[in-house]
Amino acid sequence: MKKKTTNLIISIIILFILLLLCLPIGFFTVFRDLDAKICIPRVTTRIGIEADGDHLRQYIKTQLHPGLNEQEVTNILRNIGPVSQYEKTKLYDGTTREGYKLNICLHPLNNVLVENVFDAKGILLTTNFSNSP
């Protein structure tokens, strides 16, 4: 009787450890994929473009054209979804690099990171992306 109880406890512990090892794999693969299939189409449908990450990035790139000021850039990004600024760095040539995160998805790797470079007067020069949902 003791041997069966011991074997049962050992089996439960092994299953628990296996479950703990599988959770991160599921979070970074299965959950990320499912999240992207829900959040990207939700945003793209609302703004009226095709439902994928490439079209979303292209839309952002066309909306954030050179010549806009910092406030206009922030307003355009807020129209797409919740936005937070994660970086603002003065560069050696007098320009400023600002990083924005569009918090449109639950999985952090699916959120769109937009990096803009502004001149000394706060006028947008370039827009790039740090990740791809």
- Delimit the domains of the chain by residue range: 2-129
For helices 53-63 and 70-80, the axis angle rounded to 10 degrees is: 150
pLDDT at 59: 94
Here the tokens at position 48 are 């009226």
Mean pLDDT, residues 46-73 taken together: 92
Mean pLDDT along residues 51-58: 89
**β-bridge mates for residue 98, sequence order:** 88, 116
Pair 83, 74: CB distance under 8 Å:
yes
pLDDT interval class at 66 (50, 70, 90) = very high
Tell me the pLDDT band of 1, cut-offs 50, 70 and 90.
Answer: low
Average pLDDT value over all residues in the chain: 89
Position with higher pLDDT, 23 vs 115: 115
The residues near 68 (Cβ < 8 Å, ≥ 6 apart) are: 76, 123, 124
| Better pLDDT: 69 or 52 | 69
For the chain, the C-alpha Rg in angstroms (whole number) is 22
pLDDT of 98: 94
CB 55 within 8 A of CB 44: yes
The count of other CB atoms within 10 Å of the CB of residue 100 is 24
Res. 13: pLDDT tops 70: yes
Task: Determine the average pLDDT of the residues in 69-94.
Answer: 93
The pLDDT assigned to 62 comes to: 94
Q: Please spell the DSSP secondary structure of 82-110, one letter per residue.
A: -EEEEEEEE-TTS-EEEEEEE--SSSGGG
